[in-house]
Amino acid sequence: MRLAVASIPAHNVAMALDKPYADVPGTTIFDAELARKGYHLNMFCSSLMKAPNRERFRAGERAYLDEWPMTEQQKEAVLARDYNAMIALGGNIYFLAKLFSTDGQSFQHAASLMTGMTPEAYVEMMVKGGRSPEGNRYIGEKK
């Protein structure tokens, strides 16, 4: 069995997939690899679509998280509401939305947190037309 597995090195399989989105700055594309990594984190978020679960989570976040087979890193990112960390650990924004909705926050508020801007500064940027694509297309691109 070990030989059979070794005959298809995982990195070769991964290299066969084209991932041209890896060099887009400040952007994580939720592909099959991340979906696998974040499965339980995202399913925990899904559970918050039910009001009784939201109440139990609010009453004891750590205890509720411990009901899910998530990694310790994922749990700590949730407790800290570190959305960029959750995304890096396989969280998808539409699942994470169930978490910030439970906190009574909007998509706009969550977006401001991820950009490191204050909510007010973020809203102002959007009202002025949003973040320009200029200088934001490729990692390392000159602005």
Partner 1 sequence: MARITAGVATSHVPAIGAAIDNGKTRDPYWLPMFKGFEFSKHWIAAAKPDVVVLVYNDHASAFTLEMIPTFAIGCAERFAPADEGWGPRPVPVVEGHPEFAAHIAQSVIQQDFDLTIINKMDVDHGLTVPLSLMFGQPAAWPCRVIPIAVNVVQYPPPSGNRCYQLGKAIRRAVECYDPDLNVQVWGTGGMSHQIQGPRAGLINKDFDQRFLDRLISAPDALAMMPHIDYIREAGAEGVELVMWFIMRGALDAQVKTVYRFYHVPASSTAVGHLILENAV
Q: Which residues bind partner 1 (CB under 8 A)?
A: 20-21, 24-32, 35, 39, 42-43, 45-46, 48-51, 54, 83-84, 87, 92-95, 97-102, 104, 106-108, 110-112, 114-116, 122, 125-127, 129-133, 136-138
Closer CB to partner 1, 15 or 21, in the complex: 21
Tokens standing for 118? Answer: 């204050």
Q: How far is the CB of 137 from partner 1 (least distance, A)?
A: 5
Q: How far is the CB of 135 from partner 1 (least distance, A)?
A: 11
Structural contact between residues 37 and 87, judged by C-beta atoms closer than 8 angstroms:
no
User: How far, CA to CA in Å, does 12 sit from each of 6, 15, 39, 140?
Assistant: 11, 5, 23, 27
Closer CB to partner 1, 43 or 79, in the complex: 43
Closer CB to partner 1, 9 or 25, in the complex: 25
Q: How far is the CB of 6 from partner 1 (least distance, A)?
A: 29
Structural contact between residues 41 and 30, judged by C-beta atoms closer than 8 angstroms:
no
Cα distance between residue 118 and residue 107, in whole Å: 14
The CB-side HSE value for 94 (13 A sphere, CA atoms) comes to: 3
Closer CB to partner 1, 4 or 129, in the complex: 129
User: How far, CA to CA in Å, does 77 sit from each of 18, 80, 90?
Assistant: 29, 5, 11
Closer CB to partner 1, 11 or 104, in the complex: 104
Q: How far is the CB of 43 from partner 1 (least distance, A)?
A: 6
